[in-house]
Amino acid sequence: MMERSFLVFHVGAYSLGVPAEELIEVNRNLGYTKVPGSPKMIRGILNLRGLLMPAVDMGAYLDIPDSTCQSFSIILKVQENHIALMVDSIGDIMGFHIQELVLPPTHLSGQFQEAIEGAFKLPNGLLIILDTKAISRNAQNPAGAISVGLQSLSATP
Amino acid sequence: MENHDEILAEFILEAREIIDRLDVDFVRLEEDPSEQALVGNIFRGLHTLKGSSGFFSLKRLEKLSHAGESLLGKIRAGQAELDFDKSTRLLEMNDILRQIIDGVEANHVEPAGDDQELINALLGLSQSEKISPAQVSASEVEPELPEVAVQEDSMEVLEPPEIAFASTPGQEVVVPVKVNPEVLDKLMNIASEMVLARNRLLPFSQQSSDKLFTSAVRSIDLLTLELQERMMKMRMQPIYHIWDKFPRLVRDVAAECGKKVRLLQEGAETELDRILLDSIRDPLVHLIRNSIDHSIESPEIRLDKGKSELAYLVLRAAHQNGTVIVEVIDDGAGIDYERVRQRAISRGLISVEKAHTLNHKELIDLIFLPGFSTRETVTNLSGRGVGMDVVKNNIENIGGSIEITSVPNEGTHVKLKIPLTLAILPTLFVRCADEIFLIPQNRILELVRFAPNEPNNGIEDFYGTPTFRLRDKLIPLLFLNEQLHLTSTPLKPKQKLFIAVLNFNGTLFGLVVEEVLNIQDIVIKPLGDLLRDMSNFAGATIMGNGEVALILDVDGIARQSGLIERLQTNPIRQEERYVAPVVEMISVLLFEIPGLHKIALPLDAIDHIIKLDSAEIQQNGNREVVYFNEQLMDLVRLDKYVSGGAREAQAHHARAPVLTCQYRDRLYGLVVKQVTDIIEVPAKLHELSTPQRGLNGCIIYNDQVINVLDLEEVLIMHNIQEESNEYPQVIDVYLPN
């Protein structure tokens, strides 16, 4: 049984997870600089000890309207790129057996398939595991980014 | 296994160096076949390569270098001479060696391939000058070269200590360490972060009274400074790192064009920032190709012209006033100005009439236009229309400039001015919609604070393009907030505009920003793929407070705005534009005297405006005087001397305003009823049809007539009155200033 750890965070009413091994650190109230002309999902650029990286507004990326995504940023290193995910709040690091991952329903349209790797069942709902490579890809190449919606997911928070 | 990989990586690095070196040496040797030291160098290089490839059992590499070595052994022994044919084959060998190394790096095994043909050719060449052509076989060549064999032995003896240098401590020879450029960049990054962290620390130490703490901060301060300086130096690399490839390039291009060119390099040790070095490589390659393909003539034509058959191409680099000058000079035919003129006309870049008024310098500027090429046919060297404009852009993007001079039949001289380092760039900080943006200073021609006293802010509409007048030119305007889709307060009438006049491929345009802050040197941060699609930004920097600021991409903004297309459809013809009469404005003080409102006096005629208590006024004969500023001041009651002034009874105000002024070294105070305003009015006066006493003329301001006081006349009358007691009707005296 392979166990993997995930950092749990919240955007709006959703519980989301990213692989813990990609986590660099979690920060509060990092300042960022807006980039005029960038798509909504890019909050701006932030500076983490001399490293510039895009700050992704997860609320906008996942199209979750009741989120502010103001104070917490999760710094990830996905492959060679650093990105910062702006989220509402931070949860724990949780371990799951990889076999328990429920793949997203196949009837999800292409873009949702891209954003979501799958979900784990929690006692009180689902933990949706995000595809960080897709986030990084979209953040690096924002012009081609498409906002993905979670509303259409059957998962109820 | 890992150890093996490491050694292999080292070998690959070394092999590349050897192969690069060989390229240079072959070409040099071809030029001067008698240079024995070069033959030795090449031979040793190939030998090392052969030895190492045997160690890694890279068979292809080994065989090929062996064949090359055999041929060189002959040359070294004086049994064969390096001619064009031989060096072509040897260079071919070099290319294949390079390919093999690339393959080894990628897959850790040799790429498959058959080099037998080349090996045979190489061996054949080494045999050809012998009396009896022996069978072509590597094993047979060797015994015939006892000299080589001896050398081989001695080389093999030499090699082991070279490899084992690390294990022999106490050796005095310091071997330079090769560092991965990425590691360098990271170090550089940390060093500049260190500077920022130090900046945050400094204020604390200034407030602190703890001596130990402040002295610790001071040493951190000094160390950081030194660290930064050393990091900067570390990035510097001599220009020969890119020049090394050029002898080969020149040889190949010259051979392809059927020309004979000798490359001379001067100042190859000149140092430049590593990143800059990378970005001037392509422009230099282009310039060299251009010189050989366009400027340098074929050997027959050169002979006809009385030049030597061999053309010279000079690369020169030197430091000059904090910049690096890189020159590409040839002694070819130079730029054919007539052809440039014709080409520009036929491509529709300029009108025929205009073309014939251009001088040489202006014609050279045409070369930098996109899509310009004098080549009739497209060759794989040049003529594709992506040419000098790209070179120019590349050079300008790194903050450099390019200058071309050319004398027909004497050659072309291209001069590149490159900053020493790219890492630090002076930029102008501007504010727009509460955000700070940076404009590279080298792109700014001038900064204009534009404050016309006109309701439309002096902005004129030119076929939908806002423009403003800069001296005698109409300059199109772009508003930064619009370009970046930022919301900011709309322009108020008469609002001052801050305009940065920028140059985009020869078209001037003004970028309107809300506020100009300061000019500062910044460290450019690599953005990587971050803003790849954001053509408005060239990069970012981290400011002293740790915040990120974006650097504007002047070209990107100009291109994206569509301004250039709009100007192409409706070009601004500077010479045809309407010339507005220059209206000179002056500031005047507006005041009232008894009986007459709205009298004005130029502000610069007045020294002070004071309030005078009637008690201070004293009599001096029939004059009223006041002791003011330790001087005696004549009081002049203007109503006495000005047409329309009503003599009110001496019920003067208790504290009357008095305008003090100097006239012919004497102090006068003009008593007025009330000072009302200071206004800007056109300096040109409307003459009065019947001259009025004490008045110069009048100004129409907001449909109102304002009388302008003739101070001189008033004061003359005032002084005459003393002597003759007679008032002349009108005095108009012309006094030269």
Contacts of B192 in chain A (CB under 8 A): 50
Token reading at B663 = 């006239």
Contacts of B532 in chain A (CB under 8 A): 140-141
For residues B658 and B668, give the distance between their C-alpha atoms in angstroms, rounded to a whole number. Answer: 9
Of the candidates B427, B570, B402, the one whose C-alpha atom is nearest the C-alpha of residue B502 is B427
Q: What angle do CA B214, B218, B224 make, to 5 degrees?
A: 140
Token reading at B77 = 């022994």
Amino acid (one-letter) located at B596: L
Contacts of A145 in chain B (CB under 8 A): none
Amino acid (one-letter) located at B320: Q
Record: contact A38-B534, CB cut-off 8 A: yes
Residue with tokens 């140059």: B503
**Type and span of the H or E element at B7:** helix B2-31
Token reading at A72 = 């917490």
Record: contact B548-A141, CB cut-off 8 A: no
pLDDT digits (tens, 9 = 90+) for B415-468: 988 877 666 677 889 988 888 899 988 788 888 887 766 656 667 777 777 888
Token reading at B62 = 């080994």
Query: Using CA of residue B263, residue B267, residue B269, residue B271, what is the dihedral sign?
Result: negative
Q: Mean pLDDT, to the nearest integer, of B611-629?
A: 81
pLDDT at site B9: 79
Q: Is B151 a residue whose pLDDT tops 80?
A: no
pLDDT digits (tens, 9 = 90+) for B228-262: 778 777 778 888 888 888 888 888 888 888 888 88
For residues A29 and A35, give the distance between their C-alpha atoms in angstroms, rounded to a whole number. Answer: 18
Higher pLDDT, A20 or B124: A20
Alpha-helical regions (H) of A41-98 = 58-61
- Spatial CB neighbours of B397, under 8 Å, sequence gap ≥ 6: B279, B538, B555
| Chain B contact probe: residue of A27, A35, A38 with most B CBs at under 10 A | A35
**Nearest-CB residue to A31 (from B196, B532, B547):** B547
3-state secondary structure B563-594: HHHHHHHCCCCHHHCCCCCCCCEEEEEEEEEC
The Cβ-side half-sphere exposure at B642, using a 13 Å CA radius, reads: 28
Residue with tokens 């229309």: B385
Q: For residue B615, with 0-12 CB atoms within 10 Å meaning exposed, 13-18 middle and 19 or more buried, which class applies?
A: exposed
Strands B537-542 and B424-432: unpaired
For residues B138 and B204, give the distance between their C-alpha atoms in angstroms, rounded to a whole number. Answer: 76
Amino acid (one-letter) located at A44: G
Record: contact A33-B537, CB cut-off 8 A: no
Contacts of A46 in chain B (CB under 8 A): 548
Contacts of B231 in chain A (CB under 8 A): none
pLDDT digits (tens, 9 = 90+) for B10-62: 788 888 888 888 888 877 777 777 777 777 778 888 888 887 777 777 888 88
Residue with tokens 């997860």: A58
pLDDT at site B494: 63
Record: contact B547-A38, CB cut-off 8 A: no
pLDDT at site A111: 57
Count of helix runs (H) and strand runs (E) in chain A: 3, 11
Quickly state the pLDDT bin for A19 (edges 50, 70, 90): very high
pLDDT at site B149: 38
Average pLDDT, chain B: 76
Q: How far is A47 from chain B (nearest CA, A)?
A: 6
pLDDT at site B649: 53
Q: Report chain B residues touching chain A, CB-CB < 8 A.
A: 189-190, 192-193, 196, 435, 484-486, 525-534, 536-537, 540, 542, 546-550
Quickly state the pLDDT bin for A47 (edges 50, 70, 90): confident
Contacts of B484 in chain A (CB under 8 A): 36-37
Q: Are A15 and A90 in contact (CB under 8 A)?
A: no
pLDDT at site A23: 92
Strand partners, A18: A7
Q: Is B653 a residue whose pLDDT tops 80?
A: no
Q: Is B519 a residue whose pLDDT tops 50?
A: yes
Record: contact A36-B548, CB cut-off 8 A: no
pLDDT digits (tens, 9 = 90+) for B471-502: 777 888 888 888 888 876 666 666 777 888 88
Q: Are B526 and B542 in contact (CB under 8 A)?
A: no
Higher pLDDT, B679 or A109: B679
B306: left (phi over 0), alpha (psi -120 to 50) or beta: left
**Nearest-CB residue to B435 (from A34, A46, A54):** A34
**Type and span of the H or E element at A86:** strand A81-87
Contacts of A53 in chain B (CB under 8 A): 530
Q: List, edge to edge, every strand of the sheet that includes B596-602.
A: B674-682, B585-593, B596-602, B704-709, B695-701
For residues B94 and B416, give the distance between their C-alpha atoms in angstroms, rounded to a whole number. Answer: 32
Percentage of chain B lying above the pLDDT 70 cut? 80
Token reading at B210 = 């703890």
pLDDT digits (tens, 9 = 90+) for B677-715: 888 877 767 766 666 778 877 777 777 788 888 888 888
- Spatial CB neighbours of B64, under 8 Å, sequence gap ≥ 6: B93, B96, B97, B100, B115, B118, B119
Quickly state the pLDDT bin for B321 (edges 50, 70, 90): low
Strands B465-470 and B460-462: antiparallel
Q: Mean pLDDT, to the nearest integer, of B210-234?
A: 85
pLDDT at site B650: 53
For residues B228 and B191, give the distance between their C-alpha atoms in angstroms, rounded to a whole number. Answer: 6
pLDDT digits (tens, 9 = 90+) for A127-157: 989 988 888 887 766 544 444 444 444 333 3
pLDDT at site B129: 52
Token reading at B701 = 């301001």
pLDDT at site A153: 42
Lowest mean pLDDT among A15-24, B188-197, B679-688, B701-710: B679-688
Record: contact B532-A141, CB cut-off 8 A: yes
For residues B607 and B663, give the distance between their C-alpha atoms in angstroms, rounded to a whole number. Answer: 11
Q: Are B149 and B155 in contact (CB under 8 A)?
A: no
pLDDT digits (tens, 9 = 90+) for B533-581: 667 887 888 876 778 888 888 888 888 888 777 776 766 655 444 444 4
Full DSSP string of B235-293: TEEETHHHHTTHHHHHHHHHHHHT--EEEEEE-TT-EEEHHHHHHHHHHHHHHHHHIII
